Chains A and B, each alone.
Chain A
Amino acid sequence: MRASLVNQLRVLVPVKRTIDYAVKIRVASDGKGVDTNVQHSMNPFDEIAVEEAVRLRERNKEAVKRITVVSAGPTKSQDVLRTALAMGADDAIHVDVPNAIEPLAVSKILRAIVEKESGEDEIGMVILGKQAIDDDASQTGQMLAGLLNWPQATFASKVELEGKGDKGDKVKVTREVDGGLAIVETQVPLVVTTDLRLNEPRYASLPNIMKAKKKKMTKYSIADLGLEKDVEPRLETLKVSEPPQRQGGAKVENVDELIAKLKEAGRI
Chain B
Amino acid sequence: MFAVRSAFRAGARAAVPFRTFATSSSRAANTLLFLEHKNGAINPASLSALTAAQKLGGEIHGLVTGRASEAKKVAEEAAKVGGLTKVLVSSSDAFAYPLSEPIAPLIQSLVSKNSYSHVVAGHTAVGRDVMPRASVLLDSSQISDIISVEGEDTFVRPIYAGNALATVKTSDKVVVFTVRGTAFDAAKAEGGSASVEEVEAGEAPQPTKFVEEQVSESSRPDLATAARVVSGGRALKSAEGFEKYIEPLADKLKAAVGASRAAVDAGYADNALQVGQTGKIVAPELYMAIGISGAIQHLAGMKDSKTIVAINKDPEAPIFQVADLGLVADLYEAVPELTEKL
One of A157, A172, A235, A256 near B143 (C-beta < 8 A): A235
CB nearest to B163 among chain A residues: A25
Q: In the complex, which residues of chain B have a beta carbon less than 8 angstroms from the beta carbon of A151?
A: 101, 207-208
Measured between C-beta atoms, what is the minimum distance from B281 to chain A in Å?
10
CB nearest to B8 among chain A residues: A244
A37 within 8 Å of B (CB atoms): no
Q: Which of A7-15, A77-85, A100-108, A208-216 lines the interface with chain B?
A: A100-108
Q: In the complex, which residues of chain B have a beta carbon less than 8 angstroms from the beta carbon of A157?
A: 271
Q: In the complex, which residues of chain A have a beta carbon less than 8 angstroms from the beta carbon of B320?
A: 248-249, 251
Q: Is the pair B286, A268 in contact by a Cβ cutoff of 8 Å?
A: yes
Q: Is the pair B213, A143 in contact by a Cβ cutoff of 8 Å?
A: no
Q: In the complex, which residues of chain B have a beta carbon less than 8 angstroms from the beta carbon of A22?
A: 296
B158 within 8 Å of A (CB atoms): yes
B324 within 8 Å of A (CB atoms): yes
Q: Is the pair B166, A185 in contact by a Cβ cutoff of 8 Å?
A: no
Q: Is the pair B169, A25 in contact by a Cβ cutoff of 8 Å?
A: no
Q: In the complex, which residues of chain B have a beta carbon less than 8 angstroms from the beta carbon of A139?
A: 132, 135, 142, 144
Q: Which of B21-29, B111-119, B122-130, B194-202 lines the interface with chain A?
A: B122-130
Q: Which of A63-71, A89-97, A257-265 lines the interface with chain B?
A: A257-265
Bin chain A's interface residue count: 35 or more
Q: Is the pair A262, B309 in contact by a Cβ cutoff of 8 Å?
A: yes
One of B133, B163, B167, B205 near A237 (C-beta < 8 A): B167
B239 within 8 Å of A (CB atoms): no
One of B136, B145, B297 near A146 (C-beta < 8 A): B136
A-facing mask of B204-245, CB < 8 A → 1, else 0? 010111111111100000001000100000000000000000
The main secondary structure of chain A at its interface with chain B is: mixed
One of A152, A172, A190, A267 near B286 (C-beta < 8 A): A267
Q: Is the pair A197, B265 in contact by a Cβ cutoff of 8 Å?
A: yes
The main secondary structure of chain B at its interface with chain A is: mixed
Q: Is the pair A137, B163 in contact by a Cβ cutoff of 8 Å?
A: no
B-facing mask of A104-128, CB < 8 A → 1, else 0? 1001000000000000000000000
Q: Is the pair A237, B272 in contact by a Cβ cutoff of 8 Å?
A: no
Bin chain B's interface residue count: 35 or more
Q: For the complex, what is the distance from the CA of A146 to the CA of B4, rounded to whole Å? A: 44
Q: Is the pair A103, B132 in contact by a Cβ cutoff of 8 Å?
A: yes
Measured between C-beta atoms, what is the minimum distance from A47 to chain B in Å?
13
Measured between C-beta atoms, what is the minimum distance from A255 to chain B in Å?
5
Q: For the complex, what is the distance from the CA of A113 to the CA of B246, rounded to whole Å? A: 49
B278 within 8 Å of A (CB atoms): yes
Q: Is the pair A136, B286 in contact by a Cβ cutoff of 8 Å?
A: no
Q: Is the pair B209, A184 in contact by a Cβ cutoff of 8 Å?
A: yes
CB nearest to A45 among chain B residues: B278
One of B144, B167, B207, B212 near A187 (C-beta < 8 A): B207
Q: Is the pair B133, A249 in contact by a Cβ cutoff of 8 Å?
A: no
Given A34-B164, A246-B303, A255-B337, the answer on whether A136 and B158 have CB atoms closer than 8 Å is yes
A176-196: which residues lie under 8 A (CB-CB) from chain B? 176-187, 190, 195-196
Q: For the complex, what is the distance from the CA of A152 to the CA of B131, rounded to whole Å? A: 13
Given A246-B303, A251-B327, the answer on whether A133 and B160 have CB atoms closer than 8 Å is yes
Q: Is the pair B213, A136 in contact by a Cβ cutoff of 8 Å?
A: no
Q: Is the pair B207, A143 in contact by a Cβ cutoff of 8 Å?
A: no
One of A19, A102, A246, A250 near B160 (C-beta < 8 A): A19
One of A155, A185, A250 near B125 (C-beta < 8 A): A155
Given A178-B124, A255-B334, the answer on whether A104 and B341 have CB atoms closer than 8 Å is no
Q: Is the pair B159, A136 in contact by a Cβ cutoff of 8 Å?
A: yes
Q: In the complex, which residues of chain A have a beta carbon less than 8 angstroms from the beta carbon of B297?
A: 21
Leading 7 A-B pairs by shortest Cβ distance? A142-B132, A234-B141, A139-B132, A143-B136, A151-B207, A244-B8, A146-B133
Q: Given contacts A176-B272, A248-B322, list 4 more A-B pairs with CB under 8 A.
A: A19-B160, A133-B161, A152-B100, A238-B167
Can you give 20 contacting A-B residue pairs, CB < 8 Å? Answer: A135-B159, A138-B132, A140-B132, A142-B130, A144-B136, A152-B129, A176-B272, A182-B210, A183-B211, A186-B208, A234-B170, A240-B165, A246-B308, A246-B324, A247-B4, A249-B320, A249-B323, A250-B1, A262-B286, A262-B325
